[in-house]
Amino acid sequence: MTTLETGRIVGAGIDRVDAPLKVTGSAHYPNDFSLPGMVHAALVGSTIAAGRIRDIDVSRAEAAPGVLAVITHLTAPALERGPMTLLGGSPPAPMQDDRILHYGQHIAIVVAESAEQARHAARLVHVEYEAAKAVLDVDDPRAEIVENPWGLDTQRGDIAAGFAQADVVVEDIYTTPDNTNNPLGLMATLASWHGDALTVHDSTQWPHNVRTSLATIFKVPESGIRVLAPFVGGGFGAGLRVWSHVILTVMAARQVKRPVKLVLSRPEMFTSVGHRPNSVQQIKIGATRDGHLVAIEHYGMSSVAMEDDDYEPVSFGSAVAYACPNVLTRDRQARLNIPCPGSMRAPAEGQGNFALESAIDDVAHAVGMDPLEFRLRNYAEEHPLQGLPWSSKALRECYLEGAERFGWSRRTPEPGSMRDGRWLIGYGLAGVSYPFYQVPCQARASVRRDGSAYVHSAATDIGTGTYTVMTQLAAELLGLEVERVRFDLGDSDMPYAPQAGGSGLTGALSNAVHTACRRLVQEFLDVVANDTASPLRGAMLDDVTVTDGRIHRIEDVAQGESYADVLARHGLEELSADGRSTPPRSEDLGMALAGAFGAKFVEVRVDPALGLLRVARVVSAIDGGRILNEKTAASQIIGGTVGGISQAMFEETATDRGTGRIANATFGDYLMPVNADVPDMEVLFVGGPDRATAVGTKGVGEIGLVGLAAAIGNAVHHATGRRIRSLPITIDQLML
């Protein structure tokens, strides 16, 4: 049990253990909870993007039926700003002064007996503004520029000398728009105070962060706060921060001394819970005639809110993607009067990869080389910045096996050379890497007298399959059938877990569960260490294994006994053990820590007369380390693929440049793919366990999206000869 070996449960594509609850409607999401005496809240949003509140009249709202309170910046208590987190600073505390920093900013909260009464009263709040001219564009000379916001700018080699030796230089500007996360379930919060104790049901991807933040903001002991999120549904990053509406709901509940529930409307989702910021990227690549990269220069500019921070280093991926001796990456942010951006599935990489992999294709075309061969020729065998071998990297296999499955060899090189009747056919590919991310995590495992196991941690499952894969893993490590193991999550009273985001939860949590289960087996061995009735007397951990609910010696299956027998003989109801995972360090391992890698192959069809674009099929070849559940992992890649198609062809959050109002903040106006837009998709996993951790997993939550925009753009170029450098790809860009 020193390391996890492939077993009969781990890796199997079993059905989700939480599926029966979900399909029968028994899974309770934050919006499903209610409490005795509960009342409802509605928000009032600013109708200007910059300026001040000159006057706010709440008298009509306060007199409306059922209204209990109307809170504005004039009556709100002083609040601390939330703490620094693993993902950066907390958003500013709401309603602390009269300033307006973006359209839709929360400027009042109304509490009433019913949701309908609260919404009606919110419309009765009258506001007079002193408007200022908003800063809404990264090119606006009034925008404050933040240089190197995260200290991740890189430079190696001599950029000028690299370009001087290049036979081919490609330089262009790529742009990507704002996108909005838009999980199907509306974000909801239910808060209830009992003195200084607080219980919160929230649509969060990180219960412990909500607990810590609310303790800081409201100056109450963290030990008295409990945050519950057993089922969240989609999040795509929207639930990673403690947003204004959560704080206001908690504030309102404290004031009216009753439980308060707030459910955001769909338009409010566009201004309240973050979004993928837009980017403008200038990329310049030089190569020799024989196809070797000699210089890459990548500048990224993205938008950020006036008084907030957002982690979005769009250029950084170019520093580690290829074996190029001379590389410069620089990132900047422009402060605008916009809602706070935040993480959206594959933050930064989704934008940066589009520019890099599109430009790489242009360079390959310029030197007359097949795009796949060009990428293989510049393959980074070692980490380009650290000069260390990767803890795992099967990107080469992703390229080769993905190409074989896709039929890349059928591609003819000339743009516009493949047709099917009136349709132009294009093949495109993109190489993908996603950075390693893992933080400390804890879990607890118990075995009860009936031989069943209970394992828990304060993680969340946003549809990724955490319930299922952790149940499988614990079952494997304890030698139990899946049906004999229960895994629970989504409660801040459970052992600490980081956020479900950054493709880091499975790695952190699986290693914590691994440690907890290993220690639990040791606990059983300690109990029988001097037990003359036990065939395990004196056994060491490395002497035993577990099968069918029994611990037994490796060399003799008969020399063992069941968990239930040990507990019964010693009069114990259960034994428990805690496990903690600590992120590995490159300097300790002598290896560069590897995230997931992948290669995306896409076939598109373009009608040149009508400008119609159809994605016909996608093959995703993924190196995700050890795959704990092939079915849920493939589902993640498929979901990410749909998100990548959406980024490439549909999504654009449109802000009116005159007012700062989001003009398409409904599902009727914000375009996303439907079933007819989703093609045949294949997913294949290559490579093996990552060497950096005992379990050997790598996150696959975000690698599914990265690369699709570039692969589709590359396929469009192959089909039409037209290079698209601005997302989304629209009809007007394709009409020939």
The partner residues of 712 in beta bridges, in order of sequence, read none
* Contact residues for 223 (Cβ-Cβ < 8 A; gap 6+): none
Cβ(108)–Cβ(43) below 8 Å:
yes
Burial class (CB in 10 A: 0-12, 13-18, 19+), 672: middle
Which region, left, alpha or beta, applies to residue 195 given φ > 0 means left and ψ of -120 to 50 means alpha? left
The CA–CA distances, whole Å, from 346 to 144, 293, 651, 724 equal 26, 26, 15, 21
> Tokens at residue 383, please?
């980490």
The partner residues of 639 in beta bridges, in order of sequence, read none
Q: What share of the chain is helix, strand, coil (3-state, %, to 5)?
A: 25, 25, 45
Classify the C-alpha dihedral 330-336-342-347 as positive or negative: negative
CA distance 352 to 435: 13
CA distance 568 to 565: 5
Q: How far is CA 661 from the centre of its chain?
A: 26
Burial 713-729 (b: 16+ CB within 10 A, else e): bbbbbbbbebbbbebbb
Cβ(291)–Cβ(367) below 8 Å:
yes
- Which of the 8 DSSP states describes residue 90? P
CA distance 128 to 131: 9
Does 62 qualify as catalytic in the annotation? no
* Contact residues for 23 (Cβ-Cβ < 8 A; gap 6+): none
Segment holding 145, helix H or strand E: strand 145-147
Cβ(331)–Cβ(153) below 8 Å:
yes
Identify the active-site residue in 312, 349, 651, 702: 702
Q: How far is CA 577 from the centre of its chain?
A: 30
Determine the residue type at 271. Answer: T
Identify which of 477, 507, 505, 511 has the alpha carbon closest to the alpha carbon of residue 490. 505
Q: Which residues are catalytic?
A: 702
